[in-house]
Amino acid sequence: MHRDNWTDRQYMLAGAPYEIHHYVDEVPPHVNFHEHPFYELFFFIDGNVQYTIEGKTYHLQPGDILLTNRLDIHRPEILPGSPYERIVIWLADNFFEQIKFGEDDLSQVFRDAAFRDYRLLRIGKTRAERLENLCQKCIDAIHSRRIGGYTLGTACMMELFVRICRYYYEDTEIVPEDVMENEKINTLLRYINENITEDLTLDLLAEHFYMSKYYLSRQFKRYTGLSLYQYIMKKRLTISRDLLLSGSNVTQACFDCGFNDYSNYLKAFKREFGCNPSAYVRSDRHK
């Protein structure tokens, strides 16, 4: 059974339409809040984990699946006491383009999870075991030296996502008892995302939502894991990243995502992504 050593890499290898990794960590790793320019399927196998995505914290059970898209800010909190085991699948846009047949668009499940603002898929023990076996078959095929290994792995990946979509659309249920959230903060997050280019200061938001600045700041940090400023900055930078990758020039991306100062934008982008916008577009870190 192949297992990977976990690293803090948060970008896909150049040219890969997908990556699949099986990790087991005896010592809980620390993971910062982050987002990806690709889709992620997180398949939880074992451990003690709370996973925060866009203001909701999911208390995971073995077999749970999380679906995150390109704009979702997320982070797991891994508690000690038992090994942390999971399978992580990263998928580029071109993966779904390559496997699209007829009207089927298997990437839609990620967008629908974001639209519902509920990214947990709980499928039960039997189905989870079936998917885990399919993931392992995919991993074994990819790492084998036999002819057609990658082709077989891709076929397994296609079957995996057909099953994921069927489980999601046929009988998925929301399990609110395992989700920590606050409706006021959910409403605030929706407002921020719908008005990301507007002036979103603490003073204005507190006035708009009839909350004290202290209460808003404290509750926002409690449910999102980030300060209001940190969240807005990450969201604007993530949007600008996608604009750049879609062909926008740097100046256009700066102002279209809500920044009003070009030099501040360049500094913030470099802090978030490790290089300036032009260098990021030329790099392999998003391909």
pLDDT given at position 175: 67
CA separation for the pair 28, 39 (Å, rounded):
24
CA separation for the pair 158, 138 (Å, rounded):
10
Region 255-275: what's the mean pLDDT?
Answer: 94
User: Which pLDDT band, with edges at 50, 70 and 90, does 284 fall under?
Assistant: low
CA separation for the pair 116, 129 (Å, rounded):
26
Q: List, in sequence order, every beta strand (DSSP E) within 94-146.
A: 120-121
Among 39, 32, 31, which residue's Cα sits nearest to residue 68? 39
Q: 243-258 burial, b if ≥16 CB within 10 A, otherwise e?
A: bbbeebebeebbeebb
pLDDT given at position 93: 84
Give pTM, 2 decimals: 0.91
Residue 266 has pLDDT above 90, yes or no: yes
For 57-77, write each residue's pLDDT tens digit.
999 999 999 999 989 999 999
For 155-195, write each residue's pLDDT tens digit.
999 999 999 999 999 876 666 678 999 999 999 999 999 99
pLDDT given at position 79: 92
From residue 4, give the alpha-carbon distance in Å to each of 78, 140, 164. 18, 12, 23
Q: Where are the alpha helices (H) located in 54-148, listed in sequence order?
A: 93-98, 108-116, 125-143
For 12-59, write each residue's pLDDT tens digit.
887 889 999 999 999 999 999 999 999 999 999 999 999 999 999 999
Per the prediction, the chain carries an average pLDDT of 92
pLDDT given at position 173: 65
* 3-class SS of residue 53: strand
User: Which pLDDT band, with edges at 50, 70 and 90, does 3 fall under?
Assistant: confident
pLDDT given at position 213: 95
List, in order of start, the domains of the chain with CATH numbers. 18-178 (2.60.120.280), 182-282 (1.10.10.60)
For 208-261, write each residue's pLDDT tens digit.
999 999 999 999 999 999 999 999 999 999 999 999 999 999 999 999 999 999
